[in-house]
Structure 1
Amino acid sequence: MDLTRFEHQLAGTGDKGSRALPPVEQWDPPFCGNINLVIKADGRWYYDGSPIGRIALVKLFASVLKREQNQYFLVTPVEKVGIEVEDVPFVITQWHCHNELLQLTTQTEDEFTVDAEHPVELRPPPDSLKAPDSVAIPYVRVRRNLWGRLHQNVYYQLLEKATPVAISKHEISLQLHSGQYQFSIGCLPADSA
């Protein structure tokens, strides 16, 4: 399987003028093996060890990304190929608030509002990002069952806006809200606040 052939199979599967996503949930093509495509922990896409420099191509492939159990695939209506994802496929690179709603943007320009459909959960970071005193960090569901991790800059900027809330006599949660949706972006020992 080469990426050019895969790209041609996807031609016409989406509306060129919109960000509508192809209906990958409805596609159940045969598995055609794995390809040497890796989404690195920093969100960059590599094919055969080289970075994919065309953002339009990365966005196209991201639009047909599918996760089944803990495996990731790129799918077209006629074939499915396995890829490697070091952590999660998306990195949240930008944020802004509009009408008290927290809106996030990924490295592939997916935009969404944090809410019950796009929840935030705290998870341990991957080994490649762990420091000796690592704590759980926020991940956000971008779409379907695909998640993104906050880029370090976004994480620190949001930490500055968070409100410390005691959740026990030993732990403080750093809380934010997006509309009515409340969530934590981190926890600290009570004696460190």
Structure 2
Amino acid sequence: MAKSIMGQMIVKPTVENIADAARKAGKKGPPPVHLWNPDFCGDLDMRIARDGTWFYLGTPIGRAGLVKLFASILRKDGDDYFLVTPVEKVGITVDDAPFVAIDFEVSGEGDDQLITFFTNVEDAAEAGPDHPIRVTRDPETGEPSPYINIRANLDALIDRKSFYRLVDIGQHEQHNGESWFGVRSGGAFFPIIPSSELT
């Protein structure tokens, strides 16, 4: 559907034309969404649930390839999320983090330990200064929500089974003048919970 603004035909964004633009833009590697500054074209009825499921018009998007394609052109500006192509920028809703870290592998040990996370959209990130792990806690229940930064300022919620595995390889270290339990990766220590709360 198109409308005319000052003699110019403006095409309303659809999932199909955004997907087509993303395919074209990504033919030679990851789309450089940080370099694109198209006009904002409005919001799209698309939502990413906390479990990583993408919805369009209230219906789950069942094609993994399409979800991966949309994930490749996702950008966060401030607190808002957008799908960005060279010619369009549309807003979408994200319930928590846009990705879910569903697994990880560990190599090395001690200060040389490296934890590599894998997401539901097939991204990989090595935890370290460039991809920090952080844990927030519900102020009422104390329930932890662990995240890892995947790219730019896009995070993945670390799923429950992976978080339990992280706890299994955790250790106590000094952090900001007190003892914390956390994990080490890429030469950095990531605190999870104060040691005093575990005794």
Smaller-chain TM-score bracket: 0.7 to 0.9
* Counterpart for residue 181 of structure 1: 188
Calculate percent identity across the aligned residue pairs: 34
- Alpha-carbon offset, residue 183 of structure 1: 1.2
Change (3 A) 1:36 1:192: same
Instruction: Report if the CA contact (8 A) 1:166-1:190 is conserved.
Output: no
Structure 1 portions without partners, runs of 5+: none
Instruction: Report if the CA contact (8 A) 1:43-1:107 is conserved.
Output: yes
Paired residue type of 1:4: E
Paired residue type of 1:175: G
Paired residue type of 1:76: T
Task: Output the CA distance in 2 between the equivalents of 1:27 and 1:47.
Answer: 24
Residues 1-193 of structure 1: matches in 2 within 5 Å?
1-15=13-27, 20-99=29-108, 100-124=113-137, 133-165=141-173, 173-184=180-191, 186-188=192-194, 190=196, 192-193=198-199
Task: Output the CA distance in 1 between the equivalents of 2:99 and 2:25.
Answer: 22
Task: Output the CA distance in 1 between the equivalents of 2:46 and 2:56.
Answer: 4
Task: Output the CA distance in 2 between the equivalents of 1:31 and 1:124.
Answer: 34
Paired residue type of 2:17: R
Task: Output the CA distance in 1 between the equivalents of 2:176 and 2:130.
Answer: 28
- SS for the counterpart of 2:71 is helix
Change (3 A) 1:88 1:168: closer
Paired residue type of 2:147: Y
Change (3 A) 1:137 1:69: same
Aligned residues: 183
Task: Output the CA distance in 2 between the equivalents of 1:146 and 1:79.
Answer: 20
Task: Output the CA distance in 2 between the equivalents of 1:155 and 1:192.
Answer: 16
- SS for the counterpart of 1:42 is coil
Change (3 A) 1:133 1:188: farther
> In the TM superposition, what whole-angstrom CA distance separates every residue of 1:51-103 from its partner, at most 9, and x where no partner exists?
11111111110000011110000011111100000011011101001232100
- Alpha-carbon offset, residue 7 of structure 1: 0.9
- SS for the counterpart of 1:12 is helix
TM-score (norm 1): 0.86
Q: Tell me which structure has the larger Cα radius of gyration.
A: 2
Paired residue type of 1:13: A
Paired residue type of 1:179: G
Structure 2 portions without partners, runs of 5+: 1-12
Change (3 A) 1:191 1:139: closer
Task: Output the CA distance in 2 between the equivalents of 1:189 and 1:165.
Answer: 9
Change (3 A) 1:86 1:165: same
Change (3 A) 1:8 1:86: same
Instruction: Report if the CA contact (8 A) 2:172-2:180 is conserved.
Output: yes
